[in-house]
């Protein structure tokens, strides 16, 4: 159709329209022309805007995030330990607060009452920002006496968090009432969402589980201490969702594009190897034992020897009267005549003010080291046996006291004094003299290799930050004095977790006897605790089982003592183990030296410990109990030995734990085994 024909058609149409309707046609054509003009103008503004408008233009697509929920933590039986819910906290904008219908003197008491806090504390937090803003406005030339709204200028304090990290239901209701009051609404108040980590059984697992907090830079949740810190790498941390939407110039949402919403992703759940019921058993017995001897603290680790799973771990610190050592007071060398110095020095590090809540405190079972004393002897004794350097029935002279040969020249004494003892009796009676004579048959490199092969001097890899590797003298600095000291558990520093892992070598059956497995607190995601274990051989099966059989008699002496003291008897399970009593060295020196001739160990202060496995047939669990610094009264009464203060705790924990796990009772021990004893 050409232009002439189009024009003719248009004229014919107009003539056909009644004259009375011409105005309507004219109106429609005018509106159409106007719309075309507007569309053209919008197109030009979008494609070729005036340079003066460019600074006001932007992408009218906004986004908001939706926080994801951090995964939960469960114990090995599926009991909840930690989970996340969302709460709200209060933010105040001091530029807008409290609004025209309130004065500051009225608003602050009303806000403090809603929060249930001291008005002075709330007022100080708000007025500090208010005064800062007044100085900023004054510097910008703003008239503070004017009723006009004050402009936004650079340097103003905005959005201050007021009140608790999470508002309770009562606080939330009161704050919402102030914000929504139609007659006298309080301005400049905002409720913000935040995830809240709930923990169950804090009194049992808080230091182990740790704490979730905000990242210093991003403000997002992250594990700060304990297991919570380590499991961030295992997918427990959530991924936030995202909502994108198109808005108008005033910021009002218009629509959401088809791909504009990504839902949040919940973090993976984590299953621990810990059993809360076993943790409760340990807590009760450890507290009872520490109270009995007024210890400064106590530690316990309970391990499933077949899997390496730590099924319970607890560390307690008691409030006892102690004094910090001044590095000026002379400490006499230990002697039979001087049992205590009369002063009880601090042997457990004072709590860091920044880590003085249950979930942030050090876990001394993995972070703090100690000298193991006689509990170290089974490792050295079994090495001599494994290398064939002595026979079980070989007799050694154990005259008491005895001075070690040149160049060490050290006097040694035994608690159980016998002129001669067999190799078996040396371990059962915990003879220092016999152990030194046994280990002199090892070369330096053989003994050093044995110590490191059992895992001492390096971290276990347990899933708690801050684990100590302990300390082993390097072979290049190994001396005869080192050789003697290691034989009786000195000049080597260990953690309780290292000790119980190494002891599990005596607790396994068949071809697995003499092997140790990695210890852990966290199971693989989706797997049962105990999977993916790694065994490492440290002894031959024969040497491991023989060492276990030799230690059977030690616990019978403890059983007999408990029967005489408390009437406790008829134990269902036969155990095997070793006690240890080691003087506590002066630590935390920070470059300070002791007075000349002073002992490096506190007089009359000990780490009293007991390590054990059970039952003897098909062992299921291994345990270590350490009593940190039994009281001077206990020392004067000669009750500070590991067999007397830590042994009963280990015995009671194992009895209850094995029964809880449904382990069959042990057959009655033979009279020959009952005859063994020693400390």
Q: Assess whether 209 and 257 both reside in one domain.
A: yes
Q: Assess whether 562 and 643 both reside in one domain.
A: yes
pLDDT exceeds 50 at position 541: yes
pLDDT of residue 163: 81
Structure tokens at 173: 């209701």
- Tell whether 558 is covered by a domain: yes
Q: What whole-number distance in Å separates Cα of residue 296 and Cα of residue 320?
A: 6
Q: How far is CA 504 from the centre of its chain?
A: 24
- Tell whether 31 is covered by a domain: no
317-337 confidence digits (pLDDT tens) = 999 999 999 999 998 876 666
Residue 412 host element (H or E): strand 411-412
- Tell whether 379 is covered by a domain: yes
Q: Which of 247, 272, 297 is the last residue of a domain?
A: 272
- Tell whether 453 is covered by a domain: yes
Between 522 and 215, whose confidence is greater?
522
Q: Residue 227 maps to which CATH number?
A: 3.90.1310.10
pLDDT of residue 236: 72
| Residues 6 or more apart in contact with residue 234 via CB below 8 angstroms | 268, 270, 522, 525
3-class SS of residue 240 = coil
pLDDT of residue 678: 44
Q: Assess whether 428 and 342 both reside in one domain.
A: yes
pLDDT exceeds 80 at position 109: yes
Which region among 173-182, 346-355, 508-517 has the lowest average model confidence (pLDDT)?
A: 346-355
pLDDT of residue 153: 77
Q: Assess whether 519 and 572 both reside in one domain.
A: yes
- Range(s) of the domain holding residue 235: 63-79+200-272
> Looking up tokens 């140790």, which residue turns up?
516
Domain count, the chain: 3
Q: Assess whether 535 and 439 both reside in one domain.
A: yes
DSSP line for 478-522:
--HHHHHHHHTT-SEEB-HHHHHHHHGGGS--GGGTTEEE--BSB
Q: Assess whether 91 and 205 both reside in one domain.
A: no
pLDDT of residue 677: 45
- Paired sense of beta strands 160-162 and 221-223, if any: unpaired
- Report residue 675's pLDDT band, with 50, 70 and 90 as the boundaries: very low
| Residues 6 or more apart in contact with residue 414 via CB below 8 angstroms | 398, 400, 429, 430, 431, 432, 433, 434
- In degrees, rounded to 5, the angle at the alpha carbon of residue 223 between the alpha carbons of residues 218 and 229 is 130
- In degrees, rounded to 5, the angle at the alpha carbon of residue 458 between the alpha carbons of residues 454 and 463 is 105
Closest by CA position to 586, among listed 601, 605, 603: 601
Q: Which of 218, 239, 272 is the last residue of a domain?
A: 272
Q: Are 312 and 301 in contact (CB under 8 A)?
A: yes
Q: Residue 425 maps to which CATH number?
A: 3.40.710.10
- Tell whether 589 is covered by a domain: yes
- Tell whether 38 is covered by a domain: no
Q: Assess whether 189 and 205 both reside in one domain.
A: no
Between 46 and 546, whose confidence is greater?
546
- Tell whether 32 is covered by a domain: no
376-403 confidence digits (pLDDT tens) = 999 999 999 999 999 999 999 998 889 8
3-class SS of residue 44 = helix
489-518 confidence digits (pLDDT tens) = 999 999 999 999 999 999 999 999 999 999
Q: What is the mean pLDDT of residues 174-193?
A: 85
pLDDT exceeds 50 at position 672: no
pLDDT exceeds 80 at position 18: no
Q: What whole-number distance in Å separates Cα of residue 269 and Cα of residue 73?
A: 6
Which region among 295-309, 437-451, 527-541 has the lowest average model confidence (pLDDT)?
A: 527-541
pLDDT exceeds 90 at position 365: yes
Q: Assess whether 434 and 519 both reside in one domain.
A: yes
Q: Assess whether 631 and 557 both reside in one domain.
A: yes
- Tell whether 15 is covered by a domain: no
Q: Assess whether 238 and 376 both reside in one domain.
A: no
Average pLDDT of the chain to the nearest whole number = 84
Q: What is the mean pLDDT of residues 295-323?
A: 94
Q: Assess whether 223 and 291 both reside in one domain.
A: no
396-425 confidence digits (pLDDT tens) = 999 888 988 888 788 898 888 899 999 999
Q: What is the mean pLDDT of residues 652-658?
A: 96
Q: Assess whether 238 and 99 both reside in one domain.
A: no
pLDDT of residue 23: 63
pLDDT of residue 158: 78
- Report residue 625's pLDDT band, with 50, 70 and 90 as the boundaries: very high
Whole-model pTM? 0.79
| Residue spans of alpha helices (H) in 567-670 | 632-636, 642-645, 647-660
């Amino acid at each position: 159709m050409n232009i002439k024909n189009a024009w003719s058609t248009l004229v014919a149409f107009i003539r056909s329209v009644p004259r009375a309707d011409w105005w309507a046609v004219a109106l429609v054509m005018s509106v159409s022309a106007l719309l075309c003009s507007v569309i053209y103008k919008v197109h030009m503004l979008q494609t070729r805007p005036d340079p003066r408008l460019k600074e006001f233009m932007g992408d009218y697509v906004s986004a908001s995030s939706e926080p994801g929920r951090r995964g939960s933590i469960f114990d090995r039986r599926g009991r909840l330990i930690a989970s996340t819910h969302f709460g709200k906290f209060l933010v105040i904008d001091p530029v807008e607060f409290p609004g025209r219908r309130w004065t500051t003197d009225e608003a602050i008491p009303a806000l403090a009452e809603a929060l249930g806090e001291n008005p002075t504390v709330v007022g100080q937090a708000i007025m500090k920002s208010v005064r800062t803003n007044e100085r900023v406005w004054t510097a910008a030339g703003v008239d503070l006496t004017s009723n006009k709204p004050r402009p936004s200028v650079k340097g103003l304090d905005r959005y201050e968090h007021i009140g608790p990290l999470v508002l309770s239901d009562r606080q939330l209701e009161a704050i919402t009432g102030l914000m929504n009051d139609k007659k006298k609404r309080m301005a400049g108040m905002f409720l913000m969402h935040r995830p809240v980590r709930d923990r169950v059984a804090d009194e049992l697992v808080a230091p182990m589980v740790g704490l979730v907090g905000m990242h210093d830079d991003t403000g997002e949740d992250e594990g700060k201490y304990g297991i919570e810190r380590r499991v961030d790498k295992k997918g427990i941390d959530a991924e936030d969702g995202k909502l994108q939407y198109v808005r108008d110039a005033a910021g009002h949402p218009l629509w959401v594009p088809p791909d504009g919403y990504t839902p949040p992703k919940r973090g993976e759940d984590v299953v621990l190897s810990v059993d809360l019921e076993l943790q409760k058993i340990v807590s009760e017995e450890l507290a009872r034992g520490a109270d009995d001897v007024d210890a400064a603290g106590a530690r316990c680790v309970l391990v499933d020897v077949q899997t390496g799973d730590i099924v319970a771990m607890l560390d307690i610190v008691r409030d006892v009267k102690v004094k910090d050592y001044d590095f000026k007071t002379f400490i006499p060398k230990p002697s039979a005549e001087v049992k205590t110095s009369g002063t009880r020095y601090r042997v457990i590090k004072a709590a860091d003010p920044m880590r003085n809540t249950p979930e942030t405190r050090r876990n001394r079972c993995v972070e703090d080291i100690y000298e193991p004393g006689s509990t170290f002897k089974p490792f050295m004794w079994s090495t001599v046996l494994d290398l064939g350097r002595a026979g079980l029935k070989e007799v050694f002279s154990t005259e008491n006291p005895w001075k070690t040969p040149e160049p060490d020249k050290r006097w040694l004494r035994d608690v159980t004094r016998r002129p001669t003892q067999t190799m078996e009796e040396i371990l059962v009676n915990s003879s220092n003299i016999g152990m030194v004579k046994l280990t002199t048959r090892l070369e330096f490199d053989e003994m050093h290799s044995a110590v490191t092969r059992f895992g001492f001097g390096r971290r276990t890899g347990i899933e708690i930050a801050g684990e100590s590797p302990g300390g082993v003298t390097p072979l290049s600095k190994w001396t005869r004095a080192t050789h003697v000291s290691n034989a009786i558990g000195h000049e080597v520093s260990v953690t309780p977790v290292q000790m119980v892992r190494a002891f599990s070598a005596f607790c396994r059956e068949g071809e697995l006897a003499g092997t140790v497995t990695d210890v852990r607190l966290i199971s693989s995601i989706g797997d049962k605790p105990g999977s993916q274990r790694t065994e490492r051989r440290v002894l031959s099966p024969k040497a491991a089982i023989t060492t276990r059989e030799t230690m059977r008699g030690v616990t019978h002496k403890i059983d007999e003592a408990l029967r005489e003291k408390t009437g406790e008897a008829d134990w269902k399970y036969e155990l095997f183990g070793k006690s240890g009593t080691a003087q506590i060295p002066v630590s935390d020196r920070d470059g300070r030296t002791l007075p000349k001739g002073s002992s490096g160990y506190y007089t009359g202060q000990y780490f009293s410990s007991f390590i054990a496995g059970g039952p003897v047939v098909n062992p299921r669990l291994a345990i270590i109990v350490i009593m940190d610094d039994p009281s001077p009264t206990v020392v004067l009464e000669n009750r500070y030995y590991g067999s007397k203060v830590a042994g009963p705790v280990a015995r009671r924990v194992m009895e209850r734990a094995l029964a809880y796990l449904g382990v069959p009772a042990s057959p009655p021990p033979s009279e020959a085994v009952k005859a063994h004893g020693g400390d």
